[in-house]
Chain A
Amino acid sequence: MELAWYWTALIAFVIVQFLLISASVLVYAERKVSGYMQNRPGPNRVGPFGFLQPFADVVKLVFKENIVPVLANPFVHSLAPMLMVVIAMGAGALIPFAHNVVIADMDVSVLVLLALTSISVYGVTLAGWSSNSKYSLLGGLRSSAQMISYELSMGLAVLSVVLIAGSLSLTEIVEDQAGGWGLLGWNIFRNPIGAILFIVTAFAETNRAPFDLPEAEQELVGGYHTEYSGMKFGMFFLAEYVNFFIASFVIVTLFFGGYMLPFESVLLGAFPALVDSLWLTVLQLGTILVKAGFFAFVFIWVRWTLPRFKYTQLMTLGWKYLLPIALANMLLVALGVALLS
C-alpha cells in the first residue's frame, strides 16, 4: 500500500512517540516489578501509584548539567547516545503491528533488522572509547565482544525461521505462521530450539541481565556509560528500554505468530464480518501488544531472578554451546523442511 510521504511521516512520528511512552511505562514496570519481587512497594509517591515517576525522572535529567570529560572526544561523546536512540527507534519501523500496519514493508526487513542491531554495537563501543576513561573503555570492549559473539547465534536462529518461511520479509513470516490448527502454526512449535536460541541471544544483544556485563557495576563501575550524566545518560537508558521492547516485538513476530490472534482462522470463520474490517486491525494491535508486553515482563522477570554471568562463562556459552547448537538446529530445520514439503 503506497502512502503519501506526509502520512508516512505522521505514522512514523506516532510510532516514535509510542516507543518513547512505552519506554517510560517499562521503566515504571521494571521498578514496580522489582519492588514486589524484593518485598517492597517500589515507586509510589509521584502521581497515582507512582505512575508519573519516570516522567519526573526525565524532567530531572533535562535539568542536569552536561559534563564532558576533559580528555574525551566531545563530538563522538554526543554521537554515541544519539546513535543508540536512533537505531533503537528505527527498528520500530520494520515491525508489522497488524495486517498492513507497518511503516517500512520491504522484502528484506529481516536483513535490515539484523543490520540495525549490529550498528548498535557501534554506539556502545564509541561511548566506551570516546569517554577516555578506563572503566568505560573496558565496558565498551567487553560489550562489543559480547554482542558480536551472540549476533552469530542470533543470525543462525533467524536463518532457521527464514528457511521455514522461505522469505526475508517480516510480514510474510507472520503470514506463514497462520497455517496449522489454532496456535500450532506458530514457529515456536515448528522450531522450538531456534526460538529458545533467539530469546537467549536477544537478552545478550540488548545487554540485559544475566548478560549485562558491559555495565557490571561491581567491577566496571558503570561500564560504557561511566562518564555519561544528565540527558546523555538518560538517552542510553531510553535506548536500553526501547531496545528490549523492540526485541520483545521481534520475538513475537518471528516465533509467536506476530499480530495473529490465537485461533484467528476459527474466529474469522465464526464471524465473517470481521474479515478485513477495522475491528480486526484493532484486535491484532491489541494482540501484539499483549504478547510483546508479556515478553517485556519476561525480560524484567529474568533480570531480577538470575545472577550475572562471569565474562569467561559468557564467552564459553556463546561460542562453545550456542553457536554449534545454532548450526545444528539450522541443518535440522532444513532437513525438516525438505522432508515435510
Chain B
Amino acid sequence: MLSDFYPLFVQLAIAAGLSFTLLKAAALIGPNRHNIVKRKAYESGMDPIGSAHERYSVKFYLVAMIFIVFDVEVVFLYPWAVSFKEFLEAGAGPGVMGVVMLFVIVLAIGLLYDIKKGGLEFD
C-alpha cells in the first residue's frame, strides 16, 4: 500500500533538506574567488587534453548487459522465495523446486558460457 511508503518519503525529504542546506551554507559562507587555473580539470598538473566524454572500453557494457540478465533473474526469484513455505504446505514443493532448478541451471549455463568466452576478462 502506498501509505506505507509515506514515512520513507518523509525521511528522504528531510535528508534532501539537510544536504541542500549543507550545499547552500557552503556556497554562502565559503569564499568565491574563481580563476581559470583553479577550475581546470586535474590531469597531474598538465593542461587537460580534450574532453573526458570520450569512448571507453566495451567491457563495461558487457558487464552491464550480463548484470541485467542476472538482476532480472534475482527479481523473478523473489516471489518464489516469499511464497516457498506456502508452496510446501500445499504439497507442491518438489514441482516448484524442479522449475526453479531448471531456471537457475539455464542461467548458470549462460554464465559459464560467458566466462569461457572471456566476456569477463579484464586484462
Report A70-95 CB contacts with B as 1/0, cut-off 8 Å. 11100000100110011011101110
Using CB atoms, name the residue of chain A closest to B64: A148
Q: Are A106 and B5 in contact (CB under 8 A)?
A: yes
* CA–CA, A332 and B108, complex, Å: 15
Q: Are B4 and A69 in contact (CB under 8 A)?
A: no
Known contacts A15-B11, A152-B67, A67 near B34 by CB under 8 Å: yes
Q: Are A320 and B52 in contact (CB under 8 A)?
A: no
Known contacts A89-B18, A231-B25, A112 near B71 by CB under 8 Å: no
Using CB atoms, name the residue of chain A closest to B73: A152
> Which residues of A lie under 8 Å from residue B85 when comparing CB positions?
166, 337, 341
Using CB atoms, name the residue of chain B closest to A326: B74
Q: Are A141 and B60 in contact (CB under 8 A)?
A: yes
Q: Tell me the smallest distance from the CB of A176 to a CB of chain B, in Å.
A: 11
> Which residues of B lie under 8 Å from residue A66 when comparing CB positions?
26-27, 30, 32
Q: Are A145 and B63 in contact (CB under 8 A)?
A: yes
Which listed residue, A63, A78, A136, A327, touches B108 by the CB 8 Å rule? A327
> Which residues of B lie under 8 Å from residue A315 when comparing CB positions?
63, 120, 122
> Which residues of A lie under 8 Å from residue B52 when comparing CB positions?
71, 131-134, 136-137
> Which residues of B lie under 8 Å from residue A94 when comparing CB positions?
8
> Which residues of A lie under 8 Å from residue B70 when comparing CB positions?
152, 323
Query: A155 on the interface (CB 8 Å rule)?
Result: yes
Known contacts A159-B74, A337-B85, A78 near B14 by CB under 8 Å: no
> Which residues of A lie under 8 Å from residue B29 when comparing CB positions?
62-63
Determine the main DSSP class of A at the interface with B. Answer: helix
> Which residues of B lie under 8 Å from residue A148 when comparing CB positions?
63-64, 67, 71
Which listed residue, B12, B42, B120, touches A316 by the CB 8 Å rule? B120
Which listed residue, B7, B60, B104, B121, touches A12 by the CB 8 Å rule? B7
* CA–CA, A66 and B31, complex, Å: 8
Interface residues on A, range: 35 or more
* CA–CA, A166 and B66, complex, Å: 28
Report B19-37 CB contacts with A as 1/0, cut-off 8 Å. 1101101110111111010
Q: Are A338 and B43 in contact (CB under 8 A)?
A: no
Which listed residue, A90, A152, A159, touches B81 by the CB 8 Å rule? A159
Q: Tell me the smallest distance from the CB of A230 to a CB of chain B, in Å.
A: 6
Q: Are A133 and B48 in contact (CB under 8 A)?
A: yes
* CA–CA, A160 and B67, complex, Å: 19
Q: Are B14 and A9 in contact (CB under 8 A)?
A: yes
- Residues in chain A within 8 A of chain B (CB atoms): 5, 8-9, 12-13, 15-16, 20, 61-72, 78, 81-82, 85-86, 88-90, 92-94, 103-107, 111-112, 129, 131-138, 141, 144-145, 148-149, 151-152, 155-156, 159, 162-163, 166-168, 221, 226-227, 230-232, 234-235, 311-312, 315-316, 319-320, 323-324, 327, 330-331, 334-335, 337-338, 341
Query: Told that A86-B19, A148-B71, A316-B120 touch, could you supply 11 new A-B pairs with CB distance under 8 A?
Result: A16-B11, A62-B22, A69-B40, A90-B8, A90-B11, A138-B56, A152-B67, A155-B71, A168-B78, A311-B122, A337-B88
Cross-chain pairs A/B with CB under 8 angstroms, 30 sampled: A8-B6, A8-B7, A12-B14, A61-B26, A62-B29, A67-B34, A69-B40, A78-B23, A81-B23, A85-B18, A93-B8, A94-B8, A103-B8, A133-B43, A141-B60, A149-B67, A152-B71, A159-B78, A166-B82, A230-B26, A231-B26, A231-B30, A232-B23, A312-B122, A315-B63, A319-B120, A324-B108, A335-B97, A338-B97, A341-B85
